Amino acid sequence: MTTSKALFIHGAGDIRISDFKPLAPEPEETLVNVEAVGVCGSDLHYYKDGGIGAATIQSPFIPGHEFSATVLEDIPEKNIAKGELVAVDPATPCLVCEWCQRGYHNLCPNVKFIGAPPYNGAMTHSLVVPKSALIKLPNAISAEQGAMLEPLGVCIHAIDLAKPRLIESIAVLGCGGIGLGIIQLLVKTGCHQIIAIDPQEHRASKALALGASVAGSTIDTVSEATNDRGCDLVIEATNSPNGMADAVMSAVIGGRVILVGIPDGDMYTGFSAAQARRRGLDLRFSRRMGDVYDRAVALVQQSVVDVDTLITHRFSIEDAEQAFKLQADNAPGLIKSMILPG
């Protein structure tokens, strides 16, 4: 195996570019060359907080779970030829636990997840992945689009949980890559009113460009747009500890709330149980995604969703630390950073 450069997170605020040599693949694994890898909000939590819940950094690890790659050998069981571009599903559930047996693969407590400690991710030039994780891509899908299929899958799963209805009002809190992907999907459902909220003006403006009816910097916009009624459905996709409180206060009596974002510090603050209880809210948490890659591929291939418009910054591995710093500082104009090892 060839040694190349990789981005390692050693702990909160500690990124280093170091040499990395992948282990030899087992029979059920294969070596791939990474073509593009996105910087996800969860990657940022590892950088800012040193972990997410129980998934804490105990030793230096390589992040990166949104990626496309080139295969280096024929994979006949997946109908993939050497040299072809693939997406890689970062999650390998155990398939034998109670939750896997019930179809909740995304909730498997024994999951092996590429790019979550202790499993190294794709912010490097090459790595070993399970053959079962490879997603064959049509020729029309680019490497960057292939890397965006995983976050799009998160959006699809959130929509599946939300079950948006015709002619209902919807608030989307947070207009990063996930929030903007969700807005694009909502536009296709015939929703009556989509209210986008983000404190960064360029993200709110992008939400309008992608089909939101109204956009603003605070949830006061929800009150104004609905005459203090609130929205039938609220989808929260922020990194704010106030995300749950804002979602509750944006919802109508009897409304539905889907929490997709991961709050900084892994804690919600300012949450009024009374406000949620008195509204009789249906509250659900969204984690990762189910088996949605086929739909994600089709949505991109058929140009139903524009993932390219969400990519605003690009970096090499050697410059990738800058991607994390810019995102942590909420840099103007930034929506999605892509790292291109090649």
pLDDT > 90? residue 79: yes
User: What pLDDT, on a 0 to 100 scale, did the predictor assign at position 2?
Assistant: 81
Nearby residues of 261 by Cβ (< 8 Å), 6 or more positions away: 41, 173, 174, 178, 236, 237, 238, 239, 240, 243
- CA distances, 298 to each of 21, 77, 305 (Å): 35, 22, 9
CATH number (3.40.50.720, 2.30.30.90, 3.40.10.10, 3.40.50.450) of 153-285 reads 3.40.50.720
Q: What tens digit of pLDDT does each residue of 158-202 get?
A: 999 999 998 899 999 999 999 999 999 999 888 879 999 999 999
Q: What pTM value is reported for the model?
A: 0.94
For strand 169-173 and strand 231-236, is the pairing parallel, antiparallel, or unpaired? parallel
Residue 180's φ and ψ, nearest 5 degrees, are -70, -35
Please give the Cα distance from 41 to 54 (Å, whole number): 17
pLDDT > 90? residue 278: yes
State both tokens at 30. 């294969």
Nearby residues of 27 by Cβ (< 8 Å), 6 or more positions away: none
pLDDT > 70? residue 1: no
Domain boundaries, the chain: 4-148+307-339, 153-285
| Average pLDDT for 326-336 | 92
Residue 318 DSSP one-character state? T
User: What pLDDT, on a 0 to 100 scale, did the predictor assign at position 208?
Assistant: 97
Please give the Cα distance from 245 to 208 (Å, whole number): 24
CATH number of 4-148+307-339: 3.90.180.10
Nearby residues of 95 by Cβ (< 8 Å), 6 or more positions away: 105, 108
In 3D space, the residue among 89, 67, 66, 91 whose CA is nearest the CA of residue 78 turns out to be 89
